[in-house]
Amino acid sequence: MKQEMNNTHTSIPGKRLSAAAVHITTIYTFVLLLKLVYFDSQIGNNGLEMPYVFATLGSLLILTSISLLLRPKAAIGYMKILNILLTFMVFSNVMFYRYFKDLLSIPLLTQLGSVGDVGNSLFELLHYSDLLLAADFILLPILHKAIKRKAIHEESTRSIRWMAVSICAIGIIMGLSSFSLLIKSQPTILQTFYDRVYVAQNIGLLNYHTADIYAFVQQSLEENGALDFQKKQEMLEFFKTKKQMDDSDRQMFGVGKGKNLIVIQLEAFQQFVMNKSVNGKEITPHLNKLADSGIYFNNYYYETAGGGTSDAEFAANVSMFPMKVGAVYIRKPGNYYYSLPIKLKEAGYSTIAMHGYKPGFWNRSVVYKNIGFDEFYSKSNLEENELLGMGISDKDFFGQAAEKLKAQKQPFHAFLITLSSHFPYDNDKSKYSSFDVGEYKDTLLGNYMEAVHYTDEALGHFIEELQRSGMLDDTVLVIYGDHHGIPKDNEEELAGFLGVESLSSMEWQLLQKVPMIIKVPGADSRIENIVGGSVDLMPTVLNILGIDASNQPSLGRDLLNSQEGLVTLRNGSFVTQDMVYSSNENIGYDIETGEELPIVQYNDKKREAERLLDYSDTMIRFDLVDEIKDYLEKERR
């Protein structure tokens, strides 16, 4: 009997420990959930966001279910390690967010040299509340001992395994649901990660990092392979020939030499609103006036892809095409790009970029530094006097921009990106009350017209301030739209506004023009009918400023000195002066008649468009810009 009691005594502690492991796992899960909820409270959310909690709990259930399949001591050890790792993950992301208003990602970790030194500011970033992240490291060991002493409940191995499988399945369902809801509301966001904070707010920090790692690995696998030597030589010869063709006598070369350069990228501005009125009032009176007094390119198209606004910035500042999948700003932020601001810095310009939203949006805090902007003013270091929609209102933004530029070292290059006319155009209507859209009230098209009218008005105030300060007379002003404003789903609405029953695929493409105006002090106004696009901005501006671009590996053309234009879209479609080619239909259309053209009439242009896209992709993939620049520099000597 005594021996039997001894056997019972020695067997119970193991079973008690198994029960204790289940209890400790539950406590750790709850503690980790609290830490991840604390993270959510630190990244801009005003209250407890249930989508975040739901998604976070799902990912935690998947991770903690693993502990139920381990031996008791291993299970407790696993949860301790998980706690340390997730605490570090939460802390490092909170610190990074407080400094950059962004989250850590694999592409960013590979470019730590570009994000600046956070170490010196670490103590300034700490909050007393951050101590909560470490409190459990003191309290949980005490709970461990208490639970081990009191746990007497037995669980069979089979029941624990079934519990683990069930918990994991529930976690997977919760996680997939959160991903599904995010993709439904923002279809391309997991391809581009244009707003990492928004992703984490909706699917949780753990799911965010999982998606980020998956995207990075997938993209890395796609980019495996070596550069073909023959193709590289072909590219070098292409740029050499292109520069020889560009060396002819140039119109307007140097008419803006030594002047300041202000480039304004208008959010979601399409050309169709220009010179149009609603109820007898112009939609864009200030933009119309600028077009009448400057050089107006009336056949200018956006060439963006999944990167949206960031693609427009990239094409304009670097004269290369966006990537087919994802965004250059996210996928290749650390490449060397011989950009417009870098070129101007070489000519003695100071450079500044301004935007009224978060610095981490589209990875701008990293990319702007890399492409040559000395300073970047964003929502984090501008006054938030008036907020509208996503960020600082355009009127407030332009007002602050004018003051910053007055103090800027001259000559300067300033790049300003507006925000208030951002989709879905349903911002604070009290700001738009001065513009009556009549029958279009409370429609997407009506909201859009109200939004662009508001931005146009803000732009007018900014130009008036430049005029009052005397700066406008010493500044080359460039204004262009970044991408479309009216989505394809609202095609009928737009057709009705334009007075037609429907729009053919060719007509829809022709409507994808955006404003492009260059105002040069002392230069005559004129209309340029040449077809152009986003990649053509940089070489055109450099010509006006009188800056030699012979070593610039640009894929665009100087629209003031080209015999013909070509707009190449990311999907392989293209537009010339006379025709539109739709890659989706594999059909070319005559613009004048709307009739289909035989392929022999445009096959050469099709191959040229494909070559430009291929060269751009190759340059980005293998980081070739610096090498091509050096080659062109040697060829010039």
Burial class (CB in 10 A: 0-12, 13-18, 19+), 277: exposed
Between CA 78 and CA 165 the distance in angstroms is 17
DSSP state of 259: -
Beta strands 295-297 and 526-528 are parallel
Between CA 567 and CA 580 the distance in angstroms is 10
Phi (first) and psi of residue 156, to 5 degrees: -70, 155
Q: Which of 416, 527, 418 is nearest to 478 (CA)?
A: 416
309 is catalytic: yes
Which residues make beta-bridge pairs with 480?
A: 265, 516
Q: Which of 394, 386, 388 is nearest to 455 (CA)?
A: 394
Q: Evaluate the omega torsion of the peptide bond into residue 515 and state whether it is cis, within 30 degrees of 0.
A: no
Residue 482 contacts residue 317 (beta carbons within 8 Å): no
Three-class DSSP labels, 65-132:
HHHHHCCHHHHHHHHHHHHHHHHHHHHHHHHHHHHHCCCCCHHHHCCHHHCCCCHHHHHHHCCHHHHH
Residue 367 contacts residue 333 (beta carbons within 8 Å): yes
Catalytic, out of 309, 351, 418, 455: 309
| Angle (nearest 5°) at CA 236 between 233 and 238 | 110
Between CA 141 and CA 76 the distance in angstroms is 11
- Which of the residues are catalytic? 309
